[in-house]
Amino acid sequence: MRFDVITLFPELFSPFLTSGVTRRAFGQGLVKVKLWNPRDYADGSYRRVDDRPFGGGPGMVMMAEPLARCLEAIRADRQDADADRAPAVLFSPIGQPLNHAAVEHWSSSSGAVLICGRYEGLDQRFIDTFVDYQISLGDFVLSGGEIPAMALLDAVARLQPGVLNDEGSHQMDSFNLALDGLLDCPHYTRPENWRGLATPQELLSGNHASIERWRREKRLALTLAQRPELLEQADLQGKLAEKDKACLASLASNVRAKR
């Protein structure tokens, strides 16, 4: 799996690629990352990559030609054939939200070319000609695409076999199908009592059935409170048992009673 990143600030990626548990994926080549600066493909001594927008307005726009040359150099370096070339992904506020399903898709792919925009954006002609996907982290605007690129790389890296200490760890993540797409439950560790706050007795009981029942109820409660639309999806997909629905009905009744 190989990801090529087009960025004006490749130095931002150095600490990211060599820190934390995901460094195993990058260091061992499970997820190969190669950085490309479009300034290296710009004309003139100033290697200019941006210019004023036609029609006026604030800010600058990244020029199409340096980006196109950079992407073409990546294609040549990857020796991509038209039939199986790596898709070009642009991080943009207008893109599709990055979610767990998308991460799982990219984690089992052969990689992609990640394009990190800056300034007011990219010349639309480059987008229309080369970009296959646009991805967003949410309904807000960042200074550039580097943080979203790192977010995708991190999420993809931790799903690779051997990266996490416990192979089952990511299966218990929020949104994972192992949890039926629900949010994860709260977690506790030692000491049992911390500043007057006790660990739930169910987790200390040693009764695995009781522990799993408590965790399931907490997942349902947290999802109901924070992301109720995920419960609707789980129900439509037939992932909620009758006891789950009874638990949710009880939770909803308690909420109404407190109002």
* Catalytic site positions: 93, 120, 158, 173
Place of tokens 């349902």: 220
Q: How far is CA 165 from CA 22, 160, 161, in A?
A: 11, 11, 10
On the CB side of 78, how many CA atoms lie within 13 Å of its CA? 28
Instruction: Give yes or no for a contact between 177 and 104, defined as CB atoms under 8 angstroms apart.
Output: no
Instruction: Give yes or no for a contact between 117 and 66, defined as CB atoms under 8 angstroms apart.
Output: no
CA gap 26, 29 in Å, rounded: 5
Alpha helices (H) in 89-175, listed in sequence order? 100-107, 124-130, 146-157
Instruction: Give yes or no for a contact between 192 and 223, defined as CB atoms under 8 angstroms apart.
Output: no
Instruction: Give yes or no for a contact between 122 and 67, defined as CB atoms under 8 angstroms apart.
Output: yes
CA gap 7, 149 in Å, rounded: 10
